[in-house]
Structure 1
Amino acid sequence: MIQDRDVLLPKSPSVGGEMGQYGHHRHGLTVLTTAVFAVGEMAGAGVLALPFSMNGTGFIGILINVVCALVSAYTGMLLGKCWLMVMHRFEEHREHSRYPYPTIGQVTFGTPGRLLVSCSINLTLFGVSVVFLLLASENVQSLVSHAGKDFSFCYWLVIVAAALCPIAWLGTPKDFWPIAVAAVVATSIACVIILANIIKDDLDNDVYVFRPNLNFTDFFMAFGTICFAYGGHPAFPTFQADMRNPEKFGRAIFVAYLIVLGMYLPVAIAGYVVYGSNAKSNILNTVSAGPMLYIVQVLITLHLFCGFIIVINPVCQELEELLKIPKEFNVRRVIFRTIMVGVVLFVAESIPQFGPILSLIGGSTTTLLAYILPPLFFLKLCYMEGDWDKVHVPLHVKVACVEIMALGLTAGVASTYSAVKDLADFATTPCYISTGD
């Protein structure tokens, strides 16, 4: 692994104001706050789906979770080094950039590279917003049904989308770190309570647990879910671009993945051991009802509401730039973002089950952005010729990058195929055809 000193940014007196070294912000994010942002972006939907995914992998899923977390952390660090090299070599990218990941694609492979990254990010974030809407609606429906009222899930999708719509009209917050902290705290507490609820169910119910045999489709569907759970790469360069010391980004990512793995793995293992094949795609629909479940549903739903706004905003902003919609609040923005929420709602009503969508995103665009493009861009930047010092890449790093890309491509294609096959074979009837539960 190359050392940070190989791509450190030199001090530049030509960049003043809030900037010290290239890309440095005196009032930017610290290592800790960057880690919190990364955890807040990743944690949430993944923890609800991982126990079910273990049915597709068996106990080898424990190893897959650990490997995915470690490899994701490593490729996140490579992506951070890519952005450091881009800022160091190209003066026009030393100021704050709204789209650092697409910029890396532009520098390495020109317009096709930028379009590939930009389209992948937007498809990923749009898909995540659909998943968040489905999960939030499912949780709200469950909470209300426990109170004695029952409405169709398809109607709840419309109600929740309507509630999210006015918030989606707002611009991106200038300083929203408290939201990220709240999201991390809420999800951390929820994970602890879910684990306690699973253990309670195990003590209360001494029954035989059936675990299904492994097969190709289920295994790679599960792999796509696991990739989704650890794939926060679309936003990583954006966090790094806002750091006080961007060269310390690797430390923040390492801490973030340790936290996420510590939150995810106990719930995934306990859910698989206790429920086996009885585990549903949303673990909250499997654990026994009671105060613990209700608290978790409230916490996760709040996280999903905040997360929906965070993930849909970048997509809206980029499309608004293409359509030349002014950045300040205006009627055109209200109309456009209302249409965007409507499109998300239409997809959710068309495929009212989040599991296959989550697996499809995880196996396709998330795998591309997390496991294929970071090592590819890194090697390309290291071997680019120009008026800068060459970066020496040790043999073991080259081998690691090639292996990650090869495994990511193979597993990604298999996961995407499995998810598409599952959607084609077992898709739920769209809500606008049947409004039943």
Structure 2
Amino acid sequence: MSLQEKSPLINEGTTAIKGLTIVTAGVFIVGEMAGSGVLALPKAVADTGWIGIVLIIVCAMASCYTAIILGRCWMIIQNRFPRYKEHVRYPYPAIGYEAFGNSGKHLVTFCVNFTLFGVSTVFLLIASENIQSLISHSLSFCAWLPVIAAILCPFTWLGTPKDFWAIAVGAMSATVLACLLMFIQILMDISINPDPHHSNTSFKKFFVSFGTILFAFGGHAAFPTIQHDMRRPADFKWGVMWSYAVIVLMYLPVAASGYFVYGDKLETDPNGDIILAMLSPGGIATTVTVMITAHLTFGYIIVINPLCQQVEEWLGVKQEFGIKRCIIRSIVVACNLFVAETIPHFGAILSLVGGSTVVLLTFVFPSLFYIRLLTMESDDGPQVIALHDRVIHYEIILIGIIGGIASTYSAIDDMASGASSFTVPCYVNASAAHL
């Protein structure tokens, strides 16, 4: 028996000659997750009160922990089933399959693909709206949508995360700079907001905002794909820890300062750029908008990649670069574009379904699958999980369920009260303009 065969249940994993390092994996995590979430956090803190700042820290810790647990799940199935040490296009659904069979696989596949498709569509929408505000008010953001989609499309043809690490660096750099400048501008706005008022929270506002905070830490849909592309997948936890530290250092100053400076002046902007709408106009605010837009365009390429790989797996397309890959991924981008043109304000649907799938992928499935994989019968035998570990996992699952219910309730209530704006599709407006 070889040394590899004698290794414990979670060992060092397969070491690839080429692949992501701890640093580049962390860069991908920051580039994929941070950015759009930070825009909503000041309003979330305003609706929860100062306890929202504590919630951000607690949710960050819980999300970081489940990301590490998800990485352990991937190591478990790689060590139990050697076929997963080769390139796998669907690592998260594979974890669900080994834990709960086809039902687990199909549920994870739906959650991953719907979340990635929804988030990438929203990225496309917000980027188009920002570019319209920066470049041309005479050209509608509906007209900018196909332009941006066409520009981004060739970059989606890149194979896996290890093939476009420079894009992840760009996404992270843009977000870091945007958060730094936002924090500076908020501090400069103290003079025009000398006595901010903070309204009292309510049960509804608190839990709706709680769901927003959970959503801000929901990047797990792409994590197994990033881990699988690492030189040493067992080192994924180190990339997770340093990247979450960076994310918290970006989130907290903007969220806390926005709450203390603007107070209840924070209003939900129809485009979702909540904090951007509060910044005083000027060079800093313009630069922040440019950086956020850069993050969204870079992040689009990162987020849509696992979805494209899954579609290629369904259709039996080879992993090597070729015309079929280009065609299929172009069709996925076209579908994104069609949905964006059909529902110009995608926020309500994303909150209703995407919010629930995000919290399932982030706070429910990792702990649930981990407990199942360790306790199920295997060649290694079932593992004993300490009582305190079980309690931690069950608490995280409960947090995820509450967050999902809060997000779903928020969307339903918005639609029932008419707060959400389902505008006419872009192509209908275009047709009416020619009449």
CA distances 1:347-367 after superposition (whole Å, capped 9, x unpaired):
333443354455446630110
Query: 1:235: Cα distance to partner?
Result: 1.7
Q: Please give the secondary structure, in 1, of the residue aligned with 2:201.
A: coil
CA contact (8 A) 1:76 1:236 kept: yes
1:309 correspondence with 2:301:
yes
Structure 1 residues 216, 139: CA separation in 2 closer, same or farther (over 3 Å shift)?
Answer: same
* Aligned equivalent of 2:225: 238
The more displaced of 91-100 and 181-190 is 91-100
* Aligned equivalent of 1:296: 288
Matches within 5 A, 1:202-351: 202-203=190-191, 205-279=192-266, 280=269, 281-282=272-273, 283-325=275-317, 336-351=328-343
Mapped to 1, the partners of 2:343 and 2:204 lie a distance apart of 19
Mapped to 1, the partners of 2:368 and 2:160 lie a distance apart of 31
The more displaced of 29-38 and 80-89 is 29-38
Which amino acid in 2 is paired with 1:257?
Answer: Y
How well do the aligned residues superpose, as a CA RMSD in angstroms? 2.7
Q: Normalising by structure 1, report the TM-score.
A: 0.87
1:370 correspondence with 2:357:
no
Query: 1:175: Cα distance to partner?
Result: 2.4
CA distances 1:212-237 after superposition (whole Å, capped 9, x unpaired):
44334433332232222111111222
Mapped to 2, the partners of 1:420 and 1:430 lie a distance apart of 20
* Aligned equivalent of 2:37: 46
* Aligned equivalent of 2:139: 151
Structure 1 vs Structure 2: percent identity of aligned residues? Answer: 49
Indicate which of 114, 118, 123 corresponds to 2:109: 118
CA distances 1:98-135 after superposition (whole Å, capped 9, x unpaired):
22211111111011111111111111101111110121
* Aligned equivalent of 2:400: 408
* Aligned equivalent of 1:105: 96
CA contact (8 A) 1:226 1:362 kept: no
Question: Unaligned stretches of 5+ in structure 2?
Answer: none
CA contact (8 A) 2:12 2:234 kept: no
1:163 correspondence with 2:151:
yes
Q: Please give the secondary structure, in 1, of the residue aligned with 2:230.
A: coil
Query: 1:142: Cα distance to partner?
Result: 1.6
Mapped to 1, the partners of 2:61 and 2:354 lie a distance apart of 16
1:382 correspondence with 2:369:
no
Mapped to 2, the partners of 1:109 and 1:302 lie a distance apart of 39
Indicate which of 72, 75, 84 corresponds to 2:66: 75
1:430 correspondence with 2:424:
yes
Mapped to 2, the partners of 1:404 and 1:173 lie a distance apart of 29
Indicate which of 31, 49, 63 corresponds to 2:22: 31
* Aligned equivalent of 1:84: 75
Mapped to 1, the partners of 2:15 and 2:318 lie a distance apart of 28
Structure 1 residues 177, 161: CA separation in 2 closer, same or farther (over 3 Å shift)?
Answer: closer
Which amino acid in 2 is paired with 1:233?
Answer: H
How many residue pairs were aligned?
A: 418
Which amino acid in 1 is paired with 2:411?
Answer: A
CA contact (8 A) 2:57 2:248 kept: yes
Query: 1:411: Cα distance to partner?
Result: 2.6
Query: 1:159: Cα distance to partner?
Result: 3.6
Q: Normalising by structure 2, report the TM-score.
A: 0.87
Mapped to 2, the partners of 1:56 and 1:258 lie a distance apart of 25
The more displaced of 334-343 and 184-193 is 334-343
Mapped to 1, the partners of 2:400 and 2:24 lie a distance apart of 29
Mapped to 2, the partners of 1:92 and 1:324 lie a distance apart of 17
Mapped to 1, the partners of 2:346 and 2:40 lie a distance apart of 9
Query: 1:307: Cα distance to partner?
Result: 1.3
CA contact (8 A) 1:228 1:359 kept: no
The more displaced of 29-38 and 284-293 is 29-38
Structure 1 residues 348, 422: CA separation in 2 closer, same or farther (over 3 Å shift)?
Answer: farther
Structure 1 residues 166, 95: CA separation in 2 closer, same or farther (over 3 Å shift)?
Answer: closer
Indicate which of 112, 124, 128 corresponds to 1:133: 124
Structure 1 residues 244, 344: CA separation in 2 closer, same or farther (over 3 Å shift)?
Answer: closer
CA distances 1:371-416 after superposition (whole Å, capped 9, x unpaired):
1111110110111112115433111001111111122113312321
Structure 1 residues 253, 43: CA separation in 2 closer, same or farther (over 3 Å shift)?
Answer: same
Question: Unaligned stretches of 5+ in structure 1?
Answer: 1-9, 15-19
Mapped to 1, the partners of 2:208 and 2:48 lie a distance apart of 9
Indicate which of 175, 181, 189 corresponds to 1:193: 181
Structure 1 residues 98, 358: CA separation in 2 closer, same or farther (over 3 Å shift)?
Answer: same
* Aligned equivalent of 1:3: none
Mapped to 2, the partners of 1:376 and 1:88 lie a distance apart of 19
Mapped to 2, the partners of 1:93 and 1:326 lie a distance apart of 17
Query: 1:341: Cα distance to partner?
Result: 2.8
